[in-house]
Structure formats: structure tokens, C-alpha cells
Chains A and B, each alone.
Chain A
Amino acid sequence: MEIKSMRFKANASGALVNTVLQGNLKTSKGKFVTRRAETIKELDDFEGTRDAATAIRNRVIDNLDLWLERFEQKALDTGAQVLWARDGAEVCRLVTEIALQHGVTKVAKSKSMLSEEAGLNQALEAAGIQPVETDLGEYILQIDNNEPPSHIIAPAVHKSLDQVADLFHKVHGTPRKTEIPALTREAREVLRSHFLSADMGLSGGNFLIAETGSVALVTNEGNGRMVTTLPKVHVVITGIEKVIPTLEDLSTLMRLLPRSATGQPISNYVSVLTGVKKPAEHDGPEHLYFILVDNGRADAVGSDFHAMLRCIRCGACMNHCPVYQTIGGHAYGWVYPGPMGSILTPLYAGLEKSIDLPHAATLCNQCGVVCPVKIPLPDLLRKLREKQTERGLRPLTERIGLRLWAWAALRPKIYALGAGFGARYLKWLAGGTDRIRLLPAAPEWTLGRDFPAPQGKTFRELYAARQKPAKETT
């Protein structure tokens, strides 16, 4: 997917004045948050489960090479094929080759964020193969001119019912429907024919299970089951970090993933798929391929960002992020929005291509406290800021300003003079009122709010005066 993260600030400003988007964000805000809060209460030991999940993910990523080899061997034993891709381009090439080899003309896809990373749909279309997104949210986006998703769990969360109604009316040529169940049925009927006629099913993978060589798929709609049951070829594309050891570990993670994502105690369908169709079976793919994708992950192993590889893609961090809630997901400019995106985009798509993202957070740690695998997201954002500073990737004025401030803060006398001047200058700017309407030194502050006036003298001045009344200055 083309990266537009350099336009974060402009994108964010646009999002703030987009009244339709703001309305949609308001409609959706809090739904996932409230449901999550309710369903985690059902667990007697939620924190213990988070710790266990963290340990499971650490266990694998700390020895990722050997776990990958183990998974690969078990998958091969089940009759699957295992392929490896360095980057998105290689994903596209491998999927296209598999499709051509099996004479595939249509691919039914269940949701895969890696497919978005790779820009797979465009590559398939270029090869004359029709990709059909079958997750309702992804489908809505695909028929709306391939709009990118704005959320990893609810890709079309930025769209309103009205917008979907207009879209279906226009694209399907059907009478305009205004009820969500009717629209859902319309999509079901359109997509059912695609499920039945697709030659290849393509899915992501929530987890790869080393014990059995299986892929675990978690869906609510049932499209994940369709694309892995009906077509004769099934291709799984996942990041190399998705391995977990055992089926017991899957059980632990399944207590957290749906609760953290949508606030469900369990998703409707959890499918554990192992190998290909047996000779007497009625259904299931005859060919199963795993494409294990790097695209930046291998380089994160053992780095300052190693903990990020624990991520199980629940989306809780963005659901709880004040910035995400305010501007939506598109402003982030790549596949993954919100706090996790502000870390993954610099890691996978390039720090120099996403200058603003590590700073697009208040470091409020709402993300960190809800992360089911305890990724210290604010620490990682801060670490990225360090890397930017080291590489000189921040604007010169900002760097000089910070240096100057730190230089002064190390020199108490100079600092005291500066603070005294600042207090008086700001008071003067307020012109006898209790507020400053335009702050020349930081005009961004006063774009959307006032800056309260200071008292006019610093604490240190007033305190010194109190301690030594005789030396009081005017």
C-alpha cells in the first residue's frame, strides 16, 4: 500500500473539518470501549491472563527462528506448502504465481492486513485475476473505489449507514435500503455467489500453531470459513511473528483477543485449519499454502522494538486512543492506524516516511493499559522519537528550540531570567485579561483554544520575596 504518512498533519486537519467523518467517529466512539470493559469483567483473572498471553508471545519471538522452523516442519507434514516472502512485492508475486499455476480467475479474500501491506489486490488485478473482499467492511471499501481501511478490526468504521446505503444503491443497482440488516443481506447475496465461484480462498492468519502446523482464523461473519472451505486452493498470508506454541496457548489468547477487539467473550467462529482435504471429504481445499512474510519484521527482532512483535492485532490501542478517536484511521496514512500503527509504520514502511507518527500521541498510556499482551506502546513511541533525534529527522526549529531550552534549564540563573521574562511577556500578551487569544510563540495552541494568562511573576521570584521580605523587589 502506498504510504501517505508524511501528510499526517494535513490529513488530521482535514479529518477535523470533515463533518461526515466527525459524525461517524462520534457514532462509533466508545462502543468497543464499553463492550470491552464489560467482557473483561467475566474473567476471574484478567491480569493473570494478560501476563500469560505476554509470556506466550515472548516465548516465541525470543526464539523466533527455531519456532518458525518448527511450525514449517509441522505444516509440511500436514501436506501444506510453506513459502517465504521478504516484502510486499514478493507476496504479490507468490500469490499471483500460485493463482496462475492453478488456473485461478477469482480469489475470495477474508480480511488480511498483510494483503493491504503488500497492495495485493492491485497486483492480482494487474495479472487478470479478480480479488473479492468478503469481510463486509472490506467489501464496502473495495466497491468504493478501493478505499483503504481506517481500522484493523472494523475497516469501514469511518462510514455512516447513509454512505453505505448510497454506495450499495449505486454499485449494486438495487433500490436504496436504509436498514442495516437489509444492507447486510444484500452484501451476503452478492458475496455468496463469489464464495461459490472463487477458485482460490485467501486469508490472513490470527495465529500459526507450532504444535500442529495449523492456522487459527478468528471471524464473526463466517467469511473466513467460506474462503477456507469452498475454493480448491487456500493461501494463508501472515507475518512471521504470528507463531504460537500450542493449542492451549490459543485457548489463552482467545480469552483476550475478542474481548480486546470487539468486546465479545469469543468470536463467532474460531477455525483451526490443518492440512488439506482428506480423500473422502466433501469440502476443504486440495491445496494449502502458507506465505510467511517478513516485510520489516525480521529486522525488529532483538531491536528496541522487539516487544511490538507480540502484537495480536486486536485494535484495542486505537479504540482507546484519544488521537485516533478524534481523527480516525485514514490520517495515519498507511495500513495500521492508532498507536500500534504509529510504531509499525515507521518500522515497516520507514521512519523517514512517517516523521509525524511517533509524535502523534499524547503518551497518555491508555493504549498501554488495555494492550492484552502488555506492549509498552508509549515507551516504543518515545524510543522512535529518540531514533528520529539521533538521525536528525525532526525539523530544525524544533531541534534548536529543544536544545536551547535544555541548555537554559541546566543553568538556573539564566533559566530564572528567562522564566521571569516569559511570565511578564505572556501577561502583557493577555493585555489585562485572563487569556491570550493568539500565542505568537506557539500559534498552534491558540488555533482552537485560548491560552490562559499567567500571574505575571514566577514562583521563584515570589518565594524569594516571601523568604527575604527586606530584599523584596518591585
Chain B
Amino acid sequence: MSSREDILGRVRANLHRGATNAAAAREDILAALSNRSHGPKPAIDGSPQALLERFRLKSEQQSTTADIVAGESDVPAAIARYLTTMSLPKSAVAWPSLAALDWAAAGLKVDGRGARDADPVGITGCFCAIAETGTLMLCSSADTPATVSLLPETHIAIVNASRILPCMEDAWALARKELGVLPRAVNFISGPSRTGDIEQTVVLGAHGPYRVHLVIVAD
């Protein structure tokens, strides 16, 4: 007998699986998958201003920094300012989807591609953001490679304020609507990577970025 049949067989036997309870169980499974009911969600003010404020506050509590600009065309200059303030290199890797921005005009050297080990700065957008926890939702694709938010020591993310949603449940609903199927990797990012593995003392910059900076586009 295969391991699969052995394991499933014992589970079935222990659940006294028979035709009748199988039918009821299948119904429950279909109901769970089609209803997609959710548990209690925190009460979050859904007005755009309140979502923006909560998202910023929660992001900052995760040690993320944030800046707000009026329009997408202001993004390169805002990023250049941040890099200058932080004394970071002016060269970055960015999602190919962001290649159309006028990086050169802001004095930045930006390559649109997946990240390599030595890239100091990674610039990404995000699929949406979540106000509840100050979280970014990034979806991988050819134009939005997952490495850009992971390998560089500095991760800069561009967030459109109109895409700040209350909760993770809202993010899934949007993904189903806009993407249909899930991309290979959905990464929810809440601040710089960190570890507490030595004496439970939290240190930023474990394997991923040391710092995460947001440029929020007010749109």
C-alpha cells in the first residue's frame, strides 16, 4: 500500500468515513470554499484619510519610515532625497514595472530587473497595502520580481494611497478580482527583517532589508 493510501485510510477509518458522512462533509467543504466567511475583524475607519493615517502609524510601529508625495512623478525625487539623507548609494534595482519613471532626472541610476546580492537598494511598488497592521502586499511576476524587496539592504516601496485597504481579507478580495488566480508568491511585508533569536532582543536586518521606506503617493 502506498503511504498516501495508508495515511488517508487510517484518517478515514478514525473518522468513521462512510457514504453518508462523506456527503455531508463534502457539502461543508464546498460551503467553506464558496462562502469564505471571515472571523472578527478590528473596527477600522474606512475613510481614505483614516486608512492612510492608520497605515502610516502601524508602519512606523514596525520601524518602517514613510514620506508622502502628491503624484507619481514626484516619486524619483522623493527617493533621491531619502537616499541622500540616509547617505545611501544613488543606484538601485527596481521592478521592471517601474522602469518608466524618470529616475535619471532625479539623479538616480536605476535598473529594472530582479535583484542580485550586491544591489544596495531595491525599489518596488505594491499590489496593495493593509492599514490594520501597516503591511505591504507584494505579488510576484516577471515585472515585479520578489527578490527586489528581499536581497538589498534597503527596500523602498511606492504605495498608492488609494490602494490602502483595511484588512488582509480586503486584500484577498482585491486579488481575486484583479488577478483571478494567485501569483507564485504573495509576500506580506511589515517592516524591515528582524530577529529576536539572541536573548529575545529584537535586532533589525536579519536576512532581508535593514530598512524599509515608503513613498506614499497621495493620488
The short answer to whether A and B are in direct contact, CB under 8 Å, is yes
Pick out which of these stretches binds chain B: A112-120, A299-307, A409-417, A438-446.
Answer: A299-307
Q: Find out whether the CB atom of A284 lies under 8 angstroms from the CB atom of B185.
A: yes
Nearest Cβ on chain A to B197's Cβ, whole angstroms? 4
Q: Is A276 a contact of B184 with CB atoms below 8 Å?
A: yes
Knowing A28-B200, A45-B40, A284-B140, say if A188 contacts B206 (CB, 8 Å): yes
Please name all residues of chain B whose beta carbon is closer than 8 Å to the beta carbon of A275 when the two chains form the complex. Answer: 184
Least CB distance from B130 to A in Å reads 9
Query: How close is A423's CB to chain B, nearest CB, in angstroms?
Result: 48
Which listed residue, B11, B133, B209, touches A64 by the CB 8 Å rule?
B11
B26 at the A interface (CB under 8 A):
yes
The interface residues of chain A lying within 8 Å CB-to-CB of B181 are 212, 274
**Interface size range of chain A in the complex:** 35 or more
- Of B32, B191, B200, B206, the residue contacting A184 (CB under 8 A) is B206
List A contacts of B203 (CB < 8 A). 180-181, 184
Is B186 interfacial (CB 8 A cutoff)? Answer: yes
Any A CB within 8 A of the CB of B182: yes
Q: In the bound complex, do residue B194 and residue A220 qualify as a contact, i.e. CB atoms below 8 Å apart?
A: yes
Given contacts A221-B206, A240-B11, A277-B184, is CB(A66)–CB(B22) below 8 Å?
yes
* A 122-161 contacts with B by CB, 8 A: 134-137, 140, 154-157, 159-161
Minimum CB distance partner of B145 in chain A: A282
> What 0/1 pattern do residues 388 to 431 of A give for CB contact below 8 A with B?
00000000000000000000000000000000000000000000
With A and B bound together, what is the CA distance between A48 and B190 in angstroms? 25
**Contact assessment for B15 and A283 in the assembled complex, using a CB-CB cutoff below 8 Å:** no
Given A222-B193, A278-B184, does the pair A65, B15 have CB atoms closer than 8 Å?
Answer: yes
How near does chain A come to B109, taking the closest CB pair, in angstroms?
Answer: 19
Q: Assess the B39–A221 pair: CB atoms within 8 A.
A: no
Say whether B150 faces chain A, with CB atoms less than 8 Å apart: yes
B24-44 vs A, Cβ < 8 Å mask (1 yes, 0 no): 011011001100111110110
Is A229 within 8 A of B208, CB to CB?
no
Closest to A275 in B: B184
Cβ-based interface call for A59 (8 A): yes
Q: Which residues of A contact B205 (CB under 8 A)?
A: 181, 184-185, 188
Given contacts A85-B3, A86-B3, A265-B133, contact A281 B184 (CB under 8 A): yes
State the majority secondary structure of interface residues on B: loop
Binary CB contact string for chain B from 58 to 71 against chain A (1 if under 8 A, 0 otherwise): 10011000000000
Q: Let me know if B89 is at the binding interface, CB within 8 A.
A: no
Contact A240 B7 (CB under 8 A): yes
Minimum CB–CB distance from A178 to chain B (whole Å) comes to: 11
Min CB–CB distance B207 → chain A (angstroms): 4
Q: A32-B200, A84-B3, A154-B197 are in contact. Are A221 and B208 (CB under 8 A)?
A: yes
Query: Is the Cβ of A283 less than 8 Å from the Cβ of B145?
Result: yes
Query: What separation, in Å, do the CA atoms of A408 and B50 have in the docked complex?
Result: 69
CA distance A245 to B32 in the complex (A): 7
CB distance from B201 to the nearest CB of A (A): 5
Q: Using Cβ atoms and an 8 Å threshold, which residues of chain A touch B4?
A: 84
Q: B147 at the A/B interface (Cβ < 8 Å)?
A: yes
Chain A residue nearest in CB terms to B58: A265
Nearest CB on B from A175, distance (A): 17
Say whether A66 contacts B189, CB under 8 Å.
no
B40 surroundings in chain A (CB, below 8 A)? 43-45, 48-49, 52
The reply to whether B198 and A183 contact each other, CB–CB distance below 8 Å, is: yes
List the A residue with the shortest CB-CB distance to B167. Answer: A251
**Is the C-beta of B10 less than 8 angstroms from some C-beta in chain A?**
yes
Nearest CB on B from A304, distance (A): 12
**Which of B7, B26, B169 is close to A298, meaning CB atoms less than 8 Å apart?**
B7
Known: A48-B40, A70-B29, A268-B189. 5 other contacts (CB 8 A): A44-B42, A48-B39, A222-B150, A225-B150, A277-B184
Give the 8 A-B residue pairs with the shortest CB-CB distance, closest first: A222-B208, A52-B39, A282-B114, A221-B206, A252-B39, A302-B14, A280-B142, A137-B197
Taking Cβ atoms with an 8 Å cutoff, the residues of B that contact A are 2-4, 6-8, 10-12, 14-17, 22, 25-26, 28-29, 32-33, 36-40, 42-43, 58, 61-62, 113-114, 117, 133, 135, 140-142, 145-147, 150, 167-169, 172, 181-201, 203, 205-209
Give 17 pairs: A residue, B residue, CB < 8 Å, sorted on A: A31-B200, A49-B39, A59-B28, A65-B11, A65-B12, A136-B195, A180-B201, A247-B172, A248-B39, A265-B58, A267-B190, A268-B189, A275-B184, A276-B184, A284-B185, A298-B10, A299-B10
**Chain A residues packing against B (C-beta within 8 Å):** 24, 27-28, 31-32, 42-45, 48-49, 52-53, 56, 59, 62-70, 84-86, 90, 134-137, 140, 154-157, 159-161, 164, 180-181, 183-185, 188, 191-192, 195-196, 210-212, 214, 220-223, 225-226, 228-230, 240, 245-252, 254-255, 262, 265-278, 280-284, 292, 294, 298-299, 301-303
